[in-house]
Amino acid sequence: MAAILPPAMLGILGGGQLGRMFATAAKTMGYGVTVLDPDPDAPAAAFADHHICAAFDDSSALKQLASTCAAITTEFENVNAEAIRELAKTTRVSPSADCVAVAQDRIAEKSWIRKAGLATAPYLVIQCEEDLHADLTPYLPGILKTARLGYDGKGQRRVSTADEVSSAYAELGSAACVLEKMLDLQLEVSAIVTRTSPAQIAVFPLAENIHVNGILDESIVPARVSPELAAQAQQMACQLAEALDYVGVLAVEFFVLQDDSLIVNEIAPRPHNSGHYTLSACFTDQFQQQVRAMCGLLPGRTDLLSPVVMVNLLGDCWQDNGKAPHWDVLAEAPNAQLHLYGKKQARPGRKMGHINIMAANVDDALLQARSLKDTL
């Protein structure tokens, strides 16, 4: 596969914050960027050469993207996999439509994880009301998750009894679901792997993730686990990428159980919120890796240059009148980097930006990160 070099035009489906950071990386590396997104105020549009403001399944828009770009990628998994398959007929596209389709559907995703020889939490597929009559005891207490379109805690209900499962299933629209047994967790971690070919694969240092209300709040790097466990998680992420014959950046989230065993929670076929620390603290960041993978280049080095804590900034930090937080506090912290996503409206739970705090060790970084966030 011939390498795609600057100043080639690269396309991305989706213009949110991940598309914005992709565009920044691609432009810095000398490429042009075309963004396809139906939002006229898409955050990535301000950083792109061209913004095709159209629906993701708009055939004429897709043709325009394919005819003007040397390679195309996506910033989120819920884009139409068939659109990706159509684009791939004439243009290099990564990840593949098949890989995106797996990540779009929890049922397919869990099946693929097990096919790769990796463990998941015990789960039961619920496709219709008749499936609710099965013995649910082995999966309770559990979490009922929609098979499609769930993220940041959306499309999920905690359930403890069969009656609660039935009610939750109705609340979720009686769509296909997965009932997943709740496990006794130590913590959650994630590994982000970049793969161009079997011989070209690299994985970032493991991140320890803390969630609040189903949304990632903090990522701590390096994760506070043994070197052996960190290496195992990285190896498992690579194993899954190989099983999928994946090309691109793949995020793999894990549960760490009380006995230090690792369970794969879910995957994301793109850069990930828990990898934003790489923008400040790694030799190559995850968005540069995304560019490199889609262009057929070797993955960059993933060395961690400093312990770091990433903290998400949600719309909750903004005042009711839309007034921004006190950024002067961050300006007085020389080891903190602020990344804002250019979104015009702040809403509770909406990701508006993040901060990365580097320090001599993760304990110092975490203490300072929490202090800064409280002040904001």
* Residue pLDDT tens, the chain, 376 long: 789 999 999 999 999 999 999 999 999 999 999 999 999 999 999 999 999 999 999 999 999 999 999 999 999 887 888 889 999 999 999 999 999 999 999 999 999 999 999 999 999 999 999 999 999 999 999 999 999 876 666 788 999 999 999 999 999 988 899 999 999 999 999 999 999 988 899 999 999 999 998 899 999 999 999 999 999 999 999 999 999 999 999 999 999 999 999 999 999 999 999 999 999 999 999 999 999 999 999 999 999 999 999 999 999 988 776 788 889 988 899 999 999 999 989 999 999 999 999 999 999 999 999 999 988 8
Domain range 9-93, CATH architecture: 3-Layer(aba) Sandwich (3.40)
Element (H, E) at 288: helix 286-294
pLDDT of residue 58: 94
Beta bridge partners of 125: 178
pLDDT of residue 31: 98
Domain range 122-181, CATH architecture: 2-Layer Sandwich (3.30)
pLDDT of residue 289: 98
What is the rounded (10 degree) CA torsion for 153, 155, 156, 162? 180
Rounded Cα distance, 333 and 352, in Å: 20
Short-list 155, 169, 87, 158, CA closest to 125: 169
Rounded Cα distance, 233 and 3, in Å: 30
3-state class of 104 per DSSP? Answer: helix
Residues of the chain with CATH 3.30.1490.20: 122-181
pLDDT of residue 143: 95
Domain range 185-375, CATH architecture: 2-Layer Sandwich (3.30)
Residues of the chain with CATH 3.30.470.20: 185-375
pLDDT of residue 108: 94
Beta bridge partners of 185: 257
Residues of the chain with CATH 3.40.50.20: 9-93
3-state class of 66 per DSSP? Answer: helix
The angle that helices 97-104 and 106-115 make with each other, rounded to 10 degrees, is 110
Question: Contact at 8 Å (CB) between 345 and 321?
Answer: no
Q: Which residue has tokens 């968005």?
A: 287
Beta bridge partners of 304: 282
3-state class of 63 per DSSP? Answer: helix
DSSP 301: P
